[in-house]
Amino acid sequence: MIRLTQRDIQTLHLLLAYRILTPSQLQTLLYPLSTQTRAQVNLQRLYRNKFVDRLDRISPTQPYIYLFSRYSVNGNKVMKAHYGEQYFKSKLTRLGAIQHLVGINDVRALTTRACQELGYTLVCWQSSEELAGKLPASYVIPDAYFLIRRQVDGQVRQSGVFLEIQFTIRSSQAINNKLNSFRKMYFSGVYNQVFGIRGMRALFVYAPTLESTAEARVKNGLKLAQQSGVTLAHFATLHQLKSAGAVGTLQSPIWRSIRKPEGVELFSKA
């Protein structure tokens, strides 16, 4: 068995937190961005030594997706020894739609790296399963929620952000339901009551489908927000986020809203 490095241990902890990881996501989280293949090499090494498992690829052009399973026996032992068997098993949730989870983790990895580089604090990241236990049943459950804390002119600011990843075609009514759920949550006071802060945004991130480009889907989402008057919704494509990079995810004007349809950054530069 190989001797694990500190970065190997970090990789295993991240994999348990994220449930699945691609090499590019791990690269964003742990490595200098100038060394593009380090994460892939180390994941392959961990896979060969049964510390992690990976899903079969549909095509050679797709990245491997790494995870814990019954085949990652050595990694499982390490994580059980650290967290306990009950906690370890609780984190091995049902994968569901793989592409959807990969998209959520893309945004999570970019946000985490951005906070590290900008000196922000990513206070928490909560999954849809965790949110389902916090929000009243009458509200649509988002894909994720995260809280960012930062210093602005010597004052501590906190911003809560809900995330919606859109890979499949959704009807206009379904998007309207989500928009109206966010608006109701904010103006009813439920958001402040549950999360303890007032600052709130809702991000809609779109991928292309066979029927529509991601940009066209963004324009439709923005149109629906304009019709509903939901000012806290922001729209972008997943390609825009990846192209902007980690810091650009938060500080590039890629997010379109009804107040700034041409695009605005989530957090202004100091």
Within a domain: 122: yes
Within a domain: 136: yes
Looking at the fold, whether 38 and 140 belong to one and the same domain comes out as no
Looking at the predicted structure, is the pLDDT value of residue 260 above 70? yes
Q: To the nearest whole percent, how much of the chain has pLDDT over 90?
A: 86
Predicted confidence band at 113 (pLDDT cuts at 50, 70, 90)? very high
Domain count, the chain: 2
Predicted confidence band at 270 (pLDDT cuts at 50, 70, 90)? low
pLDDT of residue 171: 80
Query: Which tens digit of pLDDT belongs to each residue from 145-186?
Result: 999 999 988 899 999 999 999 988 778 899 999 999 999 999
In this structure, of 2-6, 131-135, 169-173, 244-248, the range with the lowest mean pLDDT score is 169-173
The backbone region for 36, taken as left when phi is positive above 0, alpha when psi lies in -120 to 50, beta otherwise, is: alpha
Domain that holds residue 55: 6-91
Answer for the pair 140, 181: CB distance below 8 angstroms, yes or no: yes
Looking at the predicted structure, is the pLDDT value of residue 131 above 70? yes
Query: Which tens digit of pLDDT belongs to each residue from 81-110?
Result: 999 999 999 999 888 899 999 999 999 999
Looking at the fold, whether 104 and 78 belong to one and the same domain comes out as no
Looking at the fold, whether 86 and 104 belong to one and the same domain comes out as no
Within a domain: 18: yes
Q: To the nearest whole percent, how much of the chain has pLDDT over 70?
A: 99
Looking at the fold, whether 105 and 213 belong to one and the same domain comes out as yes
Within a domain: 80: yes
> What's the rounded Cα separation, in Å, for the pair 8 and 77?
14
Of 91, 126, 158, which closes a domain? 91
Mean of all residue pLDDT scores within the chain:
94
pLDDT of residue 7: 95
